[in-house]
């Protein structure tokens, strides 16, 4: 069952706007992946409605968290799983155009041989359409599980965003607060992510005005994503310090 966020949306908005990693100069890197058309870009655009990054900032303005939106997985052509694994480890520089046919080579200009903590992914976000869950192919699920295992081996936390919940359930379309009734998803999610790490959201598309319930789901999910990533950054730093003085 998905309880509707109990916090006021302003509380989550302030948390997100005020967030700064404890490590000076550190950025929290959020990698979004999933099927083509799942709503990765729409989610980023939806949360950016709240001006989380100052548009008046200089080109050198430091932002505490960054989104990496990679090419979606597809039935025919999509991002290669091996490239996603390299991105998790920080080997692929920002701005690289993923090739659906050929994996990035170590001598490529966008390949980083020795990535630092800032280059690595700190939280992996699977974005998936709620109305497409029953239609997931075995091939897609296999690729997701492979990516999930790679992230797990690196200790990277993982969450899932269920988009288009209003299109998947008539009761939710009528009132987003009815998302707690959306129980059948429990039986449909087959990628091994715990239920408390799966967040239903409705992205903005053609809406002219913001909506409180839509914002509540978006900001609550973003806060949870940031918290997961921040915990990973702090844990990694502690491990590095322990190894240094061991």
- Model confidence pLDDT, tens digit, residues 54-87: 544 444 455 788 999 887 777 667 788 899 999 9
Predicted local confidence at residue 105, as pLDDT: 95
How far apart (Å, rounded) are the C-alpha atoms in residues 203 and 165?
A: 9
**pTM, whole model, 2 decimals?**
0.88
Q: pLDDT averaged over the chain?
A: 84
Share of the chain above pLDDT 70, in %: 83
Question: For residue 22, is pLDDT > 80?
Answer: yes
Q: What residue spans define the domains of the chain?
A: 9-16+25-52+64-244
> Where does residue 102 fall: left (phi above 0), alpha (psi -120 to 50 degrees), or beta otherwise?
beta
pLDDT score at 193? 81
Give me the sign of the Cα torsion angle 76, 162, 233, 242: negative
Reported confidence tier of residue 238, pLDDT bands at 50, 70, 90:
confident
CB 114, CB 120: distance < 8 Å: no
b/e per residue 65-93 (b: at least 16 CB within 10 A): bebbbbbbbeeeebbbbebbbbbbebbbe
Q: What is the pLDDT of residue 104?
A: 95
CATH architecture observed for domain 9-16+25-52+64-244 = 3-Layer(aba) Sandwich (3.40)
CA–CA separation, 159 vs 224, rounded Å?
Answer: 9
- Residue 200 CA to residue 128 CA, distance in Å, equals 10
Query: Given the DSSP bridges, would you call strands 28-34 and 65-69 parallel, antiparallel or unpaired?
Result: parallel
Mean pLDDT, residues 4-20: 85
In this predicted structure, what is the pLDDT of residue 38? 87
Give the per-residue pLDDT at 4.
Answer: 64
Largest CA distance in the chain: 58
Taking 70 as the threshold, does the pLDDT of residue 52 lie above it? Answer: no
In the sheet that 198-200 helps form, which strands lie side by side, from edge to edge?
65-69, 28-34, 123-129, 158-163, 198-200
165 neighbors 39 (Cβ within 8 angstroms): no
Please tell me the distance from the alpha carbon of residue 33 to that of residue 85, in angstroms, as a whole number.
Answer: 12
Residue 231 pLDDT? 94
Strand, coil or helix: what is 127? Answer: strand
**Strands 123-129 vs 28-34: parallel, antiparallel or unpaired:** parallel
Predicted confidence band at 218 (pLDDT cuts at 50, 70, 90)?
very high
């Amino acid at each position: 069952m998905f309880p509707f966020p109990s916090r006021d949306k302003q509380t989550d908005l302030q948390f997100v706007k005020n967030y700064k990693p404890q490590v000076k100069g550190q950025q929290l890197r959020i990698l979004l992946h999933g099927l083509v058309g799942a709503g990765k870009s729409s989610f980023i655009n939806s949360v950016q409605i709240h001006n989380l990054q100052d548009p008046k900032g200089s080109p050198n303005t430091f932002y505490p968290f960054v989104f990496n939106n990679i090419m979606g997985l597809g039935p025919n052509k999509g991002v290669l799983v091996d490239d996603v694994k390299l991105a998790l480890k920080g080997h692929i520089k920002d701005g690289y155009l993923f090739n659906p046919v050929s994996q990035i080579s170590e001598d490529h200009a966008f390949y980083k041989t020795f990535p630092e903590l800032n280059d690595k992914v700190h939280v992996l976000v699977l974005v998936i359409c709620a109305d497409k869950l029953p239609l997931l192919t075995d091939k897609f699920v296999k690729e997701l599980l492979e990516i999930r295992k790679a992230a797990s081996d690196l200790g990277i936390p993982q969450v899932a965003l269920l988009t288009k919940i209003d299109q998947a359930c008539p009761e939710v379309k009528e009132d987003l607060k009815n998302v707690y009734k959306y129980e059948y998803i429990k039986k449909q999610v087959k990628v091994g992510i715990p239920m408390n790490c799966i967040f239903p959201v409705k992205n903005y598309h053609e809406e002219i005005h913001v909506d409180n319930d839509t914002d509540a789901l978006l900001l609550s999910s973003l806060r949870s994503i940031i918290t997961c990533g921040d915990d990973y950054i702090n844990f990694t730093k502690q491990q590095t310090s322990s190894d240094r003085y061991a």
